[in-house]
Amino acid sequence: DVKVTQSSRYLVKRTGEKVFLECVQDMDHENMFWYRQDPGLGLRLIYFSYDVKMKEKGDIPEGYSVSREKKERFSLILESASTNQTSMYLCASTENPGVTDTQYFGPGTRLTVL
């Protein structure tokens, strides 16, 4: 069975802290994605990666960076967390870049920045 795991379900951090959100997939997928989900706004793409050490900005990359040192792991980094980054963060992966490919999502990390 396909599996995408995220390091934490719930996380509470303080303003200004550096935050790491980890995502791991066990399907040998090429592509990985980070979204945030906010009430009334749906899912918005932050960053994605089509290969190791490769990254592309999504729709809302400001305030975030990513790292993909290994194929199975895609990390989202908040260099200096702010309260407006309180959100649900979702990681996803797909096998191939393509219009018919299925996205597999992790369970999400609910981050609260105080």
Reported residue count of the chain is: 114
Question: Dihedral through CA 76, CA 87, CA 89, CA 77, nearest 10?
Answer: 0
- Per rule CB under 8 A, is residue 1 in the interface with other proteins? no
The beta strand positions in 1-114, using DSSP E, are 4-6, 10-13, 19-25, 31-38, 42-49, 56-57, 65-70, 73-78, 87-94, 104-105, 109-113
Measured from the CB atom, the residue of 17 and 59 that comes closer to other proteins is: 59
Tokens encoding 29: 């997928």
* CA dist., res. 22 & res. 50, Å (int): 17
Q: Please choose, out of 13-21, 40-48, 60-68, 69-77, the segment that lies near other proteins by the rule CB under 8 A.
A: 40-48
Q: Please choose, out of 12-20, 43-51, 63-71, 72-80, the segment that lies near other proteins by the rule CB under 8 A.
A: 43-51
Question: Per-residue x/- mask for other proteins, residues 51 to 70, rule CB under 8 A?
Answer: --------x-----------
Residue with tokens 């980890």: 22
Q: Within positions 71 to 100, which residues make up the interface with other proteins, using CB under 8 A? A: 90, 92, 97-100
**Taking the complex as a whole, how short is the minimal distance between the CB of residue 29 and other proteins, in angstroms?**
14
Contact residues: other proteins, CB under 8 A: 4, 33, 35, 40-45, 59, 90, 92, 97-100, 102-108
